[in-house]
A and B are shown apart, each in its own frame.
Chain A
């Protein structure tokens, strides 16, 4: 780690003077129906060594802003007006907005003065070139290094981004790296020419929260040692609070608010910013609806009891001896990172997978207990009327070729419960229940927004008066302002219909807001189960502690990272098992 100090900062311009000044930037996409303004009259500036976060929900134009600076906007987008002034260390200034996107001038800026990293490190790296090839390319292009020089430099770069065994890693392909390592390689590539400004376009969105924390740390440390400025694009207010000096809040291409991070979080001026911060803070605590509820009867017989459930896909143990119980009316959270087996668990309960072993004892309304793992045919069909599921993807989970009425009404129709006029009436009632206008029932799913589609999915789930609903990442694809509305709807329905939820999520905020109890999954095993408050605030298991410590708190005053560490599974073998995954506790 001493290597970081070896990067000599390039001579930078006097502090206090901005490095990059964007004035009245307008970026438009020429469409058939006319020009669409993705970025509308935007102005901001970045000083050396500082971090500016551009934050916004989907469709806010934040990514187009980042790409406008380097003039790498996807066709047919182009800068319509405004200026992007880059002040170079030698005292010259360059208006990037005036340059031709294919000109030599802008190309010498790209990768050299301003470098960029992207959201999807896998697809952002070429699949058929070695990582080393892609790093040395920049060095040879901008710094005219020889092959050997470039290779030596690339190895040192990989070492700086803490990739183990850099000599070997250099000759590997991106698909042989893990997700976090890929993003590190991307960073190494971006930093190769020691740029003045690093543009990071949602660089941690595709990563798990613990990996995200490490990448953020890495960027911070590299920034401190090189003095570069960082333009960080994100939708995650927690990340903003942790790393930003200044914040630009965007909505539909327009700047809503621009100011120091302290002001944005603690004295927001704009109503949109306030709504955004409010939505985020809401998820920092228990939902109001739940606070008003009487305490849960913990002595009741569990409605579902999972015993030693296992699900193996060949060698891979996606679920390894999992036991947990669900009480009537309870919301049980299942939290874990990607590959932890939480989705497999939901799908096994619904019997979309046939579990390899174990029992899932379901207590029916009449008190009779059946093992879901062993049901088949008509019995399984009957059980599935009482256990329902809400899916993650609001687009993929609705058949695009069926109207909303057909989607919601199908369970009633195929189970022979209602047809004709009665079916229509019940569909209308269901849509009312989930807050959708029944007049839109003849529309197709493509006419609805993500949040509305998720409401359709919920309406379908409650159609058959179920007793348990398994919600698999039901709000992950939604913007934060929509997210808690859907969560509130789920809780309201819980009160009205007496539902028990199994709520699967990677998002501790959502779990804290929504759940009574929570189970934490790690590599197919359930490592900790407890009261949501306890697990979210003072967990027992080291993995949970590591997970909680990695979550960026949406408060710029709470930036203490000293408690953060990576969990290393105690290995059954003598050798350290996690070397590949990078540095140990720091």
Chain B
């Protein structure tokens, strides 16, 4: 029974509250999960239109900016008193007198103001139309802004990280969606029919779960031809990831189906003359959809980590495709990261994304069953 007292909701409102409302009320009490939800949403908005949030063209190389260090944005302009005027300073390239290595020095004489919703490079919004408006744009094209610094080829790490969000975050969603299809179909069959089918399916699920995923992924990914176009590669990688990812979800679905099958309200519905299809979709599915969504949310970060690892090892997505794993390949050797530790920034993005999704999924799972308190 719902303990209305702990949710601080007036009983008359709770009386007519659907399960989603009850879940939302329970979820809202979980502050950290709420914060994670906000971060998750923000990251997916960025992933939807990365071009808008990027500053420089992520694929543009600049020989003069090799390993350009990150720059600071100064929010206030103090030249004429104290006022809001976000700007950054240009950088001067000098040489270390002893080692002769390139050193960038902030040139406080060159002040470049920042324009919000200004114009920059042209990008496509979801393939629908092109625009060149960016959240942050520099007003001096000859003095590019490198928020997270630049890589070996002088490409802007910040813009690449933002662009990488699109692939890295979506691969998790698509992969989980594929896993879910497999999981629901196989787990559903197993749990709904039970008996021998269930027994065989259980063995298969146990088997798949006991396999070490990464060696299998490596072997599968190694089988992909190198020359494939990026979209095909993307699809194949998601398929590979979901080939092992479905078992966990299938197990959850099966467990739910099995326990629901014995619920009295399902038996009651059958006696009411409700058809099998309606029993599944009207009675069983709503009862475990919240659990499935929670399990899915918790599976997305695992997928993101998997893609990142594969691409990092060179068996996942290949450059010029931009994903966080591909970007982290730049940080592969100790010499690069010793000179340019900012190459870790895409890794930070991975950590933030995965943590937010984990916390969000965790809160969702806790709130998923408002009736069994």
Contact = CB atoms under 8 A, between A and B. Distances in A.
Direct contact of A and B (CB under 8 A): yes
Interface of A: 31-33, 36, 350, 352, 381, 384-385, 388-389, 391-393, 395-401, 403, 410-411, 414-415, 440, 442-444, 446-447, 457, 460
Interface stretch (B5-13, B40-48, B58-66): B5-13
A10 to B, nearest CB: 44
Main secondary structure of the interface of B (DSSP, over half): helix
Nearest to B289: A401
Interface stretch (B110-118, B149-157, B218-226, B269-277): B269-277
Contact of B265 (A32, A381, A388, A399): A399
A415 B264 contact: no
A352 B271 contact: yes
Contacts of A397: 264-265, 267-268
A337 B286 CA distance: 36
B216 interface: no
B17 interface: yes
A473 to B, nearest CB: 11
A480 B293 CA distance: 42
Best-surrounded residue of A393, A396, A401 (most CB of chain B within 10 A): A401
A447 B14 contact: yes
A-B complex: 4 closest residue pairs judged by Cβ atoms: A447-B15, A397-B264, A411-B272, A399-B265
B15 A444 contact: yes
B265 A396 contact: yes
B211 interface: no
B16 interface: yes
Nearest to A463: B272
Given A393-B264, A396-B263, A400-B19, A384 B6 contact: no
B371 interface: yes
A384 B287 CA distance: 25
A457 B264 CA distance: 11
B6 A388 contact: no
Contact of A389 (B15, B268, B274): B268
Contacts of A410: 269, 272, 274
Interface of B: 1-2, 5-6, 8, 11, 14-19, 263-265, 267-275, 278, 283, 286-287, 371
Contact of A400 (B11, B269, B278, B371): B371
21 contacts: A33-B5, A350-B271, A352-B267, A352-B270, A392-B264, A393-B264, A397-B264, A399-B265, A399-B268, A399-B287, A403-B16, A410-B274, A411-B272, A414-B272, A415-B273, A442-B16, A444-B16, A444-B18, A446-B15, A447-B14, A447-B15
A388 B269 CA distance: 11
B264 A391 contact: yes
Contacts of A401: 18-19, 286-287
Nearest to B19: A401
A516 B91 CA distance: 99
A396 B264 contact: yes
Contact of B5 (A31, A388, A398, A415): A31
Given A32-B6, A414-B278, A444-B16, A460 B268 contact: yes
Nearest to A396: B264
Nearest to A403: B16
B193 to A, nearest CB: 15
Contacts, number: 79
B1 to A, nearest CB: 6
Contacts of A440: 15
A385 B371 CA distance: 30
Nearest to A442: B16
B312 to A, nearest CB: 43
A406 to B, nearest CB: 9
Best-surrounded residue of B15, B273, B371 (most CB of chain A within 10 A): B273
B284 to A, nearest CB: 10
Nearest to B372: A400
Contacts of A389: 268, 271
A443 B15 contact: yes
B28 to A, nearest CB: 14
B287 to A, nearest CB: 6
Nearest to B6: A32
Given A400-B265, A442-B16, 9 more contacts: A33-B6, A36-B5, A384-B273, A389-B268, A393-B264, A399-B269, A401-B18, A401-B286, A403-B16
Nearest to A412: B272
B345 to A, nearest CB: 42
A383 to B, nearest CB: 10
Contacts of B16: 403, 442-444, 447
B186 to A, nearest CB: 25
A442 B16 CA distance: 6
Contacts of B265: 396-400
B194 to A, nearest CB: 14
A457 B272 CA distance: 12
A479 to B, nearest CB: 15
Contacts of B273: 381, 384-385, 411, 414-415
A394 to B, nearest CB: 10
Given A352-B267, A397-B268, A460-B272, A446 B2 contact: yes
A31 B6 contact: yes
B8 A33 contact: yes
Nearest to A472: B264
A447 B263 CA distance: 20
A411 B14 CA distance: 26
Contact of B371 (A388, A446, A460): A446
A33 B3 CA distance: 12
A425 to B, nearest CB: 19
Given A384-B271, A384-B273, A399-B283, A447 B264 contact: no
Contacts of A400: 19, 265, 371
Nearest to A397: B264
B340 to A, nearest CB: 51
A315 B17 CA distance: 46
Contacts of A392: 264
A444 B2 CA distance: 11
Nearest to B7: A32
Nearest to B270: A352
